[in-house]
């Protein structure tokens, strides 16, 4: 995949950064809500592609009910014809499951403008993430509203403290489903 976009203005040739999204998580299991926010982010922010960065284990949650291999397989199945989504597992490559380490790894390519995508439920405890302020300085954070989390996330430490230029709260037609609900079925 090409990472540079050439733009010619008059006799000069410029390289424009590609805008990519990262949706990280355990995807335990992946569902149509993940797909919908990916589609919305791509459309609204004109992202070239989105990486679903699947983690082996979320440090804030209990053990996953599905194996990593199963979650990757199901993620690939859910995205079907959505060619703009890439399923990736970075942890063995970067030797970390921390978001800041993933962002730093991806930002090694300075021709990428990174948009980190999350649900409003994650914003509530985002201030507990390792180097959370650095994440907001290195990429744009797109927070998608989730059923029952809007008020709490807008009152969160993160929302109050971060520069609103690097964090955008997105209202959209919600898909009323979560991985937690699916695990209970």
Spatial distance between the Cα atoms of 172 and 185, rounded to a whole number of angstroms: 26
Q: What is the pLDDT of residues 47-87, one digit of tens each?
A: 999 999 999 988 888 888 899 999 999 999 999 889 999 99
- What tens digit of pLDDT does each residue of 99-127 get? 999 999 999 988 899 999 999 999 999 99
The SS3 of residue 133 is: helix
Bridge-based pairing of strands 167-170 and 140-144 is parallel
Residue 13 has pLDDT above 90, yes or no: no
Task: Please state the φ and ψ torsions of residue 37, each to the nearest 5 degrees.
Answer: -70, -30
Q: Give Cβ neighbours of residue 98 (< 8 Å, ≥ 6 apart).
A: 129, 130, 131
97-101, 141-145, 154-158, 177-181: segment of lowest average pLDDT: 177-181
Write the pLDDT tens digit of every residue in 15-37.
Answer: 778 999 999 999 999 999 999 99
pLDDT at 148 over 90: no
Backbone Cα Rg of the chain? 17
């Amino acid at each position: 995949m090409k990472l540079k976009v050439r733009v010619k203005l008059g006799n000069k040739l410029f390289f424009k950064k590609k805008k990519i999204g990262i949706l990280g998580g355990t995807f335990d299991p992946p569902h149509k809500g993940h797909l919908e926010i990916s589609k919305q982010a791509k459309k609204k922010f004109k992202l070239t592609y989105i990486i679903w960065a699947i983690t082996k284990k979320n440090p804030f949650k209990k053990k996953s009910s599905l194996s990593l291999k199963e979650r990757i397989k199901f993620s690939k199945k859910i995205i079907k014809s959505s060619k703009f989504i890439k399923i990736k597992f970075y942890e063995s490559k970067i030797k970390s499951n921390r978001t800041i380490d993933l962002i730093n790894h991806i930002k090694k390519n300075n021709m990428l403008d990174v948009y980190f995508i999350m649900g409003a439920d994650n914003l509530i405890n985002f201030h507990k993430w390792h180097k959370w302020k650095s994440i907001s300085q290195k990429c744009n954070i797109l927070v998608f509203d989730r059923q029952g989390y809007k008020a709490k996330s807008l009152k969160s430490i993160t929302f109050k403290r971060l520069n609103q230029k690097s964090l955008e709260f997105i209202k959209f037609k919600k898909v009323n489903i979560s991985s937690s609900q699916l695990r209970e079925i």
